Structure 1
Amino acid sequence: MISEVFITCAVTGGGSSVERSPHVPVTPEQIADSAIEAARAGAAVVHIHVRDLETRRGSRDPALYRAVVERIRKSSVNPVINLTAGVGGDLMLGEPHSPLPPNPAGTDMVGALERLVHVEELRPEICTLDCGTMNWGASGQYIMVNTAGTLRAMAAHVKALGVRPELEVFDTGQLVLVRDLIEEGVIEDPALIQLCMGIRYGAPDDPMALLTLVHQIPPRAIYSAFSIGRMQLPYAALAPLVGANVRVGLEDNLYLSRGRLATNADLVQRAVEILDRMGVGVLSADEVRQKLSLKVHG
């Protein structure tokens, strides 16, 4: 067990959750304001996706990221900004008996550097890299594509920008790639890792699966752990017991309790309450900057 943790709030994500809760922010102003409220509630780090204003689904438009980041930076709070770099690796195959050509409705595949345009422009302190290719979602034809070569290219560019990568790990084999990247010097040691549990076709959210991942974490790594859905808040209690920091937010879970929709600030406040009752301290944004040796660019 660790005695101090930092809380990351994953503010909006890019999926269809806006159709299930009015609290999921969509516009840059809504996303930034929700991130600011989460920071005031105790989140040291805010993890940012943006959404297309027409489709309300995930986007990689740098202008949308710019509007969010500038609004947060001009506010009276100063959270660590963590931008996703996961968009741009979306492959939707055709039907099982004729997978090619890909279905253009769900496919957005671009090169490694194009996936980092917003990171290069805005220079957040952290950006996330998804550490593997995997089946995703119930449709059976969507693949989240992150080849080893693409990840090496993205990690090298992020390192050159002076941005700290957070390596999002969805299953045990992805930690093998993380170790390779550390050994090659593409990822600086100690690595910053996020264990993502409960996602369909990834690692399940049961404690034994979590311990399996934790036991394969590279030495000296700083890591967080979360689960999607109803296990999100229980994981706020479980994470410190296995040496991990905490993540909550509407990207991963919409409810504060059964039938009660949450805001991002609600989820952060509940996580703070849980940790306080456990005697676990919650680090501020500046304490996280010092702990992770982050470079402030904005």
Structure 2
Amino acid sequence: MEPWNMHHVPSVEMEELDLAFFYVARTEDGRIIGAGGYKILSPEEGKTTLLGVYPEFQGMNIGKALQNARLEAMYDAGVKYVTTNADHPETIVWYRKHYGYEVVGRLEKLCAFSLEDVTHWTTLRMDLVRHFETRAEREIAAAAYIEGNDPHPLNPFPPLMINVCLTGMVPTKVSTPYVPVHVEEIVADAIRVYDAGARIVHIHARDERGLPTPDARYYEAILTGIRRERPGMVCCVSTSGRNWSDFERRSEVLHLTGAAKPDMASLTLGSLNFLSGASVNTINMVERLAMTMQEKGIRPEMEVFDYGMVNLAKYLERHGIIKGRKYFNILLGNLNTAPATLGNLTMIAEALPEDSVWAGAGLGGFQLPMNAAAVAAGGHVRVGIEDNIHYDYERKVLASNEALVRRVARIAEELQRRIATPDETRAMLGLA
């Protein structure tokens, strides 16, 4: 913007100003630090006459406030188009960037005025009606965001989906009292995390002794219990290969129907070693599980621990074994797979097939940084006791699933990403 102390008014370039059509910016002690004027040329045409802010007060949006005030005054008077002349290149850019002006011509200066080495004014014109319509649309969108209905118009990321792995195969009541192992405990914990902001629950069943089981009867009780209390929750069951190698037991849960039918099922895209043992996932096994999921209308929750596992997802898609919207958990920090680094998270996320959504997870002490990185990067989050039983790096505080979800929700709030609704979650996952 042009410092107003470079202008000399009146002159052959500018007639005497009508202060009835002027706005002045003042400090609290009354000092004038900026001014902006306008002139109505006809019922539909208006013109700006002067806009200036003292240099020491520039960069504080004072000029923008003055410009907004005079545009509102002209709009209220019925003006549809506004013309502005400027010679500073940065001023021209400013008008075009913030107000949608278009360059419509140039006007030779009648005397040295403003920038003396520039011999002409650049004439700019804006559609005032369209400007206010667009601003109203932005304000409506922003108000909807505040009410929690839509993403903020300036936030490029979708609402956040939080996926909670409640139990897993390894944690026991000896290692942490917070791990839910019995049917009633798992259902109650799912309710708590849903109320804290989670929309997807990753379920491992345990039997009466608290031991992992593939028995579909336990899954049936868990799924119907969750849906009875929180019907909006997306339920994902495990087909893990850590404890069972045969297809029949791993796929048993996929045959549930009715209120117990899973929305999703885990599909680990390769074999890997954990400290507690191996998870064996041959290509043939992955294909058979994926084909069964497709037959039953269950969406795969694809687990990726290494870059090469993405290749298998693309292979499955080429052969029509997986289709449509794809969901991936990127799990980093295991000793024998990809380390938990921002570089690995970025590399794997960018390598995913088209029409994919992903969630970031860190194992053990890497849970928090990978969760935070995923929120900041526009991905989603997998969190839970299965991946880390501790809340802190020093391993002095045991975590509950609810506490882990609430921490992710706080991080998301600070980054201005609201939590997805159940309907939004299903839409993003490609679920009916």
TM-score range, shorter chain: 0.7 to 0.9
Q: Are 2:360 and 1:222 aligned?
A: no
Q: Are 2:338 and 1:183 aligned?
A: no
* CA–CA separation in structure 2 for the residues paired with 1:18 and 1:27: 11
Give the aligned residue type for 1:179: K
* CA–CA separation in structure 1 for the residues paired with 2:298 and 2:391: 33
List runs of 5+ in structure 2 lacking aligned partners: 1-155
Match of 1:109 in 2: 245
Q: Are 2:266 and 1:128 aligned?
A: yes
Match of 1:32 in 2: 187
Q: Percent identity of the aligned residues?
A: 29
* CA–CA separation in structure 1 for the residues paired with 2:202 and 2:244: 21
Q: State the 1:185 CA deviation.
A: 1.0
Q: Are 2:223 and 1:69 aligned?
A: yes
Give the aligned residue type for 1:7: I
| Change beyond 3 A, Cα 1:290–1:108 | closer
Q: State the 1:217 CA deviation.
A: 1.3
The superposition leaves residues 264-296 of structure 1 with CA deviations (integer Å, 9 ceiling, x where unpaired) of 11111111011100111210222111222213x
Match of 1:262 in 2: 399
Q: State the 1:216 CA deviation.
A: 1.4
Match of 1:137 in 2: 275
Q: How does 1:171-210 map to 2 (within 5 A)?
A: 171-210=306-345
The superposition leaves residues 139-186 of structure 1 with CA deviations (integer Å, 9 ceiling, x where unpaired) of xxx321111111111111101101111110110111110110011111
Give the structure with higher Rg (CA).
2
Match of 2:425 in 1: 288
**Correspondence for 1:231 among 366, 381, 384:** 366
Q: State the 1:192 CA deviation.
A: 1.2
Q: State the 1:261 CA deviation.
A: 1.6
Q: State the 1:17 CA deviation.
A: 4.3
Give 3-state SS (helix, strand or coil) of 2:322's partner. coil
Match of 2:169 in 1: 14
**Correspondence for 2:414 among 263, 269, 277:** 277
The superposition leaves residues 47-87 of structure 1 with CA deviations (integer Å, 9 ceiling, x where unpaired) of 10012332x3321111111111111111145311111111x
> Aligned pairs, how many?
272
Q: How does 1:152-167 map to 2 (within 5 A)?
A: 152-167=287-302
* CA–CA separation in structure 2 for the residues paired with 1:171 and 1:159: 24
* CA–CA separation in structure 2 for the residues paired with 1:219 and 1:170: 19
Give 3-state SS (helix, strand or coil) of 1:281's partner. coil
Q: How does 1:24-103 map to 2 (within 5 A)?
A: 24-54=179-209, 56-76=210-230, 78-86=232-240, 89-90=241-242
Q: How does 1:240-259 map to 2 (within 5 A)?
A: 240-257=375-392, 258=394, 259=396
* CA–CA separation in structure 1 for the residues paired with 2:426 and 2:354: 21
Q: State the 1:136 CA deviation.
A: 2.2
Could you say what the CA RMSD is over the residues aligned between the two structures, in angstroms?
1.7
* CA–CA separation in structure 1 for the residues paired with 2:299 and 2:180: 26
Give the aligned residue type for 2:227: R
TM-score (norm 1): 0.86
* CA–CA separation in structure 2 for the residues paired with 1:158 and 1:76: 24
Give the aligned residue type for 1:205: A
Runs of 4+ more than 4 Å apart: none
Match of 2:102 in 1: none
Give 3-state SS (helix, strand or coil) of 1:261's partner. coil
> Are the aligned partners of 1:12 and 1:250 in contact in 2 as well (CA < 8 Å)?
yes
The superposition leaves residues 171-218 of structure 1 with CA deviations (integer Å, 9 ceiling, x where unpaired) of 011111011001111111332111111122011112122122123111
**Correspondence for 1:169 among 283, 301, 304:** 304
* CA–CA separation in structure 2 for the residues paired with 1:271 and 1:242: 14
Q: Identify which range, 115-124 or 151-160, moves more after superposition.
A: 115-124
Q: State the 1:2 CA deviation.
A: 2.5
> Are the aligned partners of 2:304 and 2:329 in contact in 1 as well (CA < 8 Å)?
yes
> Are the aligned partners of 1:14 and 1:59 in contact in 2 as well (CA < 8 Å)?
no
Give 3-state SS (helix, strand or coil) of 2:391's partner. strand
Give the aligned residue type for 1:244: G
Give 3-state SS (helix, strand or coil) of 2:201's partner. strand
Q: State the 1:3 CA deviation.
A: 4.3
TM-score (norm 2): 0.60
